[in-house]
Amino acid sequence: MSLNLQEKDKKNIWHPYTQMKDYSQRDLLIVDRAEGIYLFDENGRRYFDTISSWWCILHGHNHPTMKKYVSRQLEKLDHIILAGISHESVILLAEKLVEITPDPLTKVFFSDNGSTACEIALKMSLQFWRHSGQPQRNRFVSVLGGYHGDTIGAMSLGGVPEFHEEFKDLLFESFSIPSPHCYRCPMGKEQNSCELECLQPLEDLLDREGQHIAAMIIEPLIQGAGGLRIYPVRYLKRVAELTRQHGVHLILDEVATGFGRTGRMFAMEHADVVPDFLCLSKGLTGGMLPMAATMTTDEIYNVFYDDYVENKTFYHGHTFTGNPLAAAAGLGSLQVFADEKPFDRMKQTIPHLHHCMERFRDLPWVGDVRKLGMICALELVKNRETKEPFGFRERVGWKIYLEGLKKGLILRPLGNVVYLWLPLSTTMAQIDEITELTYQVLSDPANINGWPG
Q: What is the structure's pLDDT at 1?
A: 47
Instruction: Answer whether residue 450 shows pLDDT above 70.
Output: no
Q: What is the structure's pLDDT at 158?
A: 81
* Three-class SS state of 97: helix
CATH classification number, 67-339, choose in 3.40.50.720, 3.40.640.10, 3.30.70.1290, 2.60.40.420: 3.40.640.10
d(CA 314, CA 306): 11
d(CA 233, CA 372): 11
The DSSP output letter for 36 is B
Tens digit of each residue's pLDDT (9 = 90 or more) over 324-370: 999 999 999 999 999 999 999 999 999 999 999 999 999 999 999 99
**What integer is the mean pLDDT of 15-41?**
97
d(CA 302, CA 364): 56
Beta bridge partners of 414: 417
Beta bridge partners of 141: 175, 216
On whether the CB atoms of residues 297 and 249 are closer than 8 A, the answer is no
Tens digit of each residue's pLDDT (9 = 90 or more) over 130-169: 999 999 999 999 999 999 999 999 999 987 888 889 999 9
Instruction: Answer whether residue 2 shows pLDDT above 60.
Output: no
Tens digit of each residue's pLDDT (9 = 90 or more) over 208-245: 999 999 999 999 999 999 999 999 999 999 999 999 99
Q: Where are the domains of the chain?
A: 2-62+342-447, 67-339
On whether the CB atoms of residues 100 and 341 are closer than 8 A, the answer is no
pLDDT level of residue 387 (50, 70, 90 thresholds): very high
pLDDT level of residue 451 (50, 70, 90 thresholds): low
Same fold, 2-62+342-447 and 67-339: no
**What integer is the mean pLDDT of 94-120?**
98
Beta bridge partners of 140: 215
Architecture, CATH, for domain 2-62+342-447:
Alpha-Beta Complex (3.90)
d(CA 303, CA 341): 38
d(CA 126, CA 202): 20
Mean pLDDT lowest among 43-47, 263-267, 339-343, 447-451: 447-451
Q: What is the structure's pLDDT at 159?
A: 73
* Three-class SS state of 27: coil
Q: What is the structure's pLDDT at 426?
A: 98
* Mean per-residue pLDDT over the chain, rounded: 96
Tens digit of each residue's pLDDT (9 = 90 or more) over 390-435: 999 999 999 999 999 999 999 999 999 999 999 999 999 999 999 9
d(CA 59, CA 64): 10
Q: Which amino acid is at 265?
A: M
Tens digit of each residue's pLDDT (9 = 90 or more) over 306-319: 999 999 999 999 99
Instruction: Provide, rounded to the nearest whole percent, the portion of the chain with pLDDT above 90.
Output: 95
Q: Would you please indicate which residues are annotated as catalytic (active-site) residues?
A: 17, 147, 253, 282
